Chains A and B, each alone.
Chain A
Amino acid sequence: MRRKLIATVLAGVFGFAGTSFAADNSVEVLHWWTSGGEAAALNVLKGNLEKQGIKWNDMPVAGGGGEAAMTAVRARVTAGNPPTAVQMLGFDITDWGKQGVVADLNDVASKEGWDKTVPAALQKFSKYNGKWIASPVNVHSTNWVWANKEVLAKAGVTSEPKTWDEFMAAAQKVQKAGFIALAHGGQPWQDATLFDGVAISTGGVDYYRKALIDLDQKTINSPTTEKVFQRMSQLRKLVDKDFSGRDWNVASGMVISGKAGFQMMGDWAKGEFINAKKVPGKDFLCFRTPGTQGVVSFNSDQFVMFKVGADKSAAQAKLASAIMDPGFQSAFNVVKGSVPARTDVPDTAFDACGKKGMKDLAEANKNNTLVGSMAHGHAVPASIKNAIYDVVTRHFNGQLDDKKAVAALAAAVKQ
């Protein structure tokens, strides 16, 4: 009888120990990097984790820069089985932090010194209430122009335009030479990306902050804003008649193939050029949106860590750490076209545009001219961002004149 009792107790103890302390060495990652270069780059992370004995369970949901993925996340969190990590941008991260369903990464962060190596402007999104909740993977910036060198040469454009007027003059030369001046895709977020650059170029970084981050009504209802919309109308005249609805990478393709001269797009466009075996400086140029050199409007992909059971936290911490590994940051960003989120990663592996990007970032970080991109969810929360999209896209499509657009913008941000 006593032996049976001991056996039962022992079985209970070991069984209990077995189930509660058996760590789950896998992570489930929800993201929308489902193609070519980025998927390959993410595969590097997968490989790094596998070397540490962690299995990567992939949950890709493509589309719309994360739209479908964000919907799926809501369902997963509501159902009580969130993925280990989810790719997210800007204010979405903050919104999820508010819900109280995210993990606390302070242990890993303080051990590895993230506070010192990640720019403050990014930390605004990576942390909530003083706790680290996400690992930033990269820093994209949106105020770039990409140009086909040969097209420019044929049009008689000899130097990179540095001011708005120089740019407009160059664009008109390109048009006269029979090319499309500005390759653009008429989707609301692309129109808004143009808007970001034009706003900084027209009013400077202070205007941008006051109008699009602080949402100051007086700043919005000012002649500067009208000038911004006027410049947007100028850009509208530079696009071809089929711009509506075009995907951004098809627009990049127009510059790559020599049909168009310029594209104003974030530095993920560089990936398209590299994939087409074009060399920066030789085949294509990368320069800041005229008038915005010295300012970097950024967006940063971050992997938000959700609260998962105690058995999964060890693996989650390793994932968070692996994302911040300098070697991975370098490898990933070389492919993606962005720059590392850590400021202490050497730029040796990066091409000319990448090196410039890293230099600009460090400079902007130092001079406090690193601002979140409105078009990519890093200036205002989603509801306001989309309301601004509505105004910008209606204006770009000719449904609002410049003055009405200013009034509409002022109304849109009042929520």
Chain B
Amino acid sequence: MRAGALPKLLLSPSVLLVLVCVYGYIMFTIYLSFTSSTLMPSYEWAGTASYQRLFAQENWRIALSNLWVFASLYIGVAVVLGLGFAILIDQHIRAEGAFRSIFLYPMALSFIVTGTAWKWLLDPGVGLEHTMHNIGWESFAFGWIKDSDMAIYCVVIAAVWQTTGFVMALFLAGLRGVDAEQISAARVDGARTWQIYLHIIIPQLGPVFVSAFVILAHMAIKSYDLVIALTNGGPGRSTWLPSVFMYQYSFTRNEMSVGAASAVMMLAAIGLVVLPYLFSEMLKLKNG
């Protein structure tokens, strides 16, 4: 039905808030990135100096390459595991509720909690490696968290553990929404279970894959607390992500304009990835 004044009026507070507190602040950050802000915002124009400084930072290169590794592994593994768990649970098992709760509960924990628990488990001196040595498996080595090259994978492990359950819930809902008749028809034709999943069910889960991707990408971008709690960016700077870079340069290193420049780069990257999805959403809406 055509919108009168009332709906538009009631929508406008949200629109206004988002306009100011999201897009307005983004504009502010973009402006900051062209200034020479240090401790606090300064409004003196400084051209592209901050961007030049940004690209010259080894820390930024590390952060970007880590993001690539982290995001692709995190999203990939969480989707595969989430789908896998959902399929397993979908098999009409008893105690479905219990299993589902066990996979889902990590999402309820804050990153400080997750990071602390995993930091312990992964520490070779007190965690898994130490335990394995204690029970006699001397050659077991799992000191990734202390290794500059491998530490980022520890962040992946903790992050995957935290969100796989949620992805599983998304897929479980999707699986249960698939048209039952298609499945019965395929069964009548003699298809085996795995064939049914592969050829009928999974292809219909397209929208779920997209939702999962959006949610996981959003968490990958925002994963500051988890990294800090787990490795504090270390060893050295080897687990820095752009979110860590942004925080450190804006607030700890008193180089706010460089931090703002990194934020602009991050938003641009997010935009590149997410906008196509948003456009397709809008097209779908237009076409009914």
Find out whether A and B make contact in their complex, taking CB atoms under 8 A apart as touching. Answer: yes
B181 within 8 A of A: no
Q: Contact partner of B254 among A244, A381, A397, A399, CB < 8 A?
A: A381
B234 contacts A186, CB within 8 Å? Answer: yes
Partner of B232 from the list A64, A70, A243, A386 (CB cut-off 8 Å) is A64
Size of the A side of the interface (Cβ < 8 Å), in residues, is 30
List chain A residues, Cβ under 8 A from B232.
64, 187, 245
Residues from chain B with a CB closer than 8 A to the CB of A381 are: 254
Contact with B along A356-396 (1 / 0, CB 8 A): 00000000000000000000000001110010001001101
CB <8 Å contact, A399 and B38: no
Indicate if the CB atoms of B236 and A188 lie closer than 8 Å: yes
Known: A78-B40, A96-B39. A394 touches B236 (CB 8 A): yes
The answer to whether B235 touches A390 (Cβ under 8 A) is no
Residues of B within 8 A of A187 (CB): 232, 234
Please, how many angstroms separate the alpha-carbon atoms of A397 and B234 in the complex?
Answer: 11
Query: Is A99 among interface residues, defined by CB-CB distance under 8 A?
Result: yes
Interface of B is mostly: loop
Closest B-chain residue to A64, C-beta based?
A: B232
Assign chain B's interface to a size class.
Answer: 20 to 34
Chain B hits for A390, CB < 8 A: 58-59, 237
Known: A382-B252, A383-B254, A383-B255. A244 touches B38 (CB 8 A): no
- The minimal Cβ–Cβ distance linking B45 to chain A, given in whole angstroms, is 19
> Inside 8 A of B231's CB, which chain A residues have their CB?
245
Instruction: Give the shortest distance, in Å, between B52 (CB) and chain A (any CB).
Output: 12
B248 sits at the interface (CB 8 A): yes
Please indicate the chain B residues that have their CB under 8 angstroms from the CB of A74 in the complex: 39-40, 251
For residue A165, CB closer than 8 A to chain B, the reply is no
Stretch at the interface among B101-109, B141-149, B207-215: B141-149
Over the window 29-45 of chain B, the binary record of Cβ atoms lying under 8 Å from chain A Cβ atoms (1 yes, 0 no) is 00000000011100000
B218 within 8 A of A: no
**Known A-B contacts A186-B234, A244-B235; A67 and B252 likewise in contact (beta carbons under 8 Å):** yes
Q: In the bound complex, how far is the Cα of B147 from the Cα of A187, in angstroms? A: 13
Q: Give Cα distance in the complex from A244 to B122, angstroms.
A: 13
Known: A67-B251, A386-B248. A393 touches B40 (CB 8 A): no
Closest Cβ neighbor of A99 among chain B residues: B40
Alpha-carbon separation in the docked complex, A71 to B253 (Å): 11
Cβ–Cβ < 8 Å partners of B59 in chain A: 390
B-facing mask of A98-133, CB < 8 A → 1, else 0?
110000000000000000000000000000000000
B225-245 CB contacts (< 8 Å) to partner A: 231-232, 234-237
Q: How far is the CA of A40 from the CA of B30 in the complex (A)?
A: 45
Interface string of B181-220 (1 = CB under 8 A from A): 0000000000000000000000000000000000000000
Does B165 touch A at the CB level, under 8 Å? Answer: no
Is A58 in contact with chain B by the CB < 8 A criterion?
no
B78 to chain A, nearest CB (A): 25
Interface status of A344 (Cβ within 8 A of chain B): no
CB contacts (< 8 Å) of B145 on chain A: these are: 244-245
- A240's nearest neighbour on chain B, judged by CB, is B125
Contact indicator B235/A99 (Cβ below 8 Å): no
> What is the bound-complex CA distance between A92 and B253, given in angstroms?
10
Cα-based distance from A3 to B38 in the complex (angstroms): 60
Per-residue interface assignment for chain B, residues 56 to 67, with 1 indicating a CB less than 8 Å from any chain A CB and 0 otherwise = 001100000000
Which A residues touch B38, using CB under 8 A? 95, 383
Chain A residues 177 to 203 lying within 8 A of chain B, measured CB to CB, are 186-188
What distance in Å separates the Cβ of A381 from its nearest Cβ neighbour in chain B?
A: 7
Q: What 0/1 pattern do residues 392 to 413 of A give for CB contact below 8 A with B?
A: 0110110100000000000000
A242 touches B253 (CB 8 A): no
* Neighbouring B residues of A186 by C-beta, 8 Å: 146, 234-236
- Does any Cβ of A come within 8 Å of B82's Cβ? no
Q: Could you show 5 A-B contacts with beta carbons less than 8 Å apart?
A: A92-B254, A187-B234, A390-B237, A397-B148, A399-B148
| Known contacts A74-B40, A241-B146, A386-B252; 12 further A-B pairs (Cβ under 8 A) | A67-B251, A67-B252, A77-B40, A78-B40, A186-B146, A188-B236, A242-B125, A242-B146, A244-B234, A245-B234, A382-B252, A393-B237
Which residues of A are in contact with B by a Cβ distance under 8 Å?
64, 67, 70-71, 74, 77-78, 92, 95-96, 98-99, 186-188, 241-245, 381-383, 386, 390, 393-394, 396-397, 399
The chain B residues found within 8 Å of chain A, CB to CB, are: 38-40, 58-59, 123-125, 143, 145-148, 231-232, 234-237, 247-248, 251-255
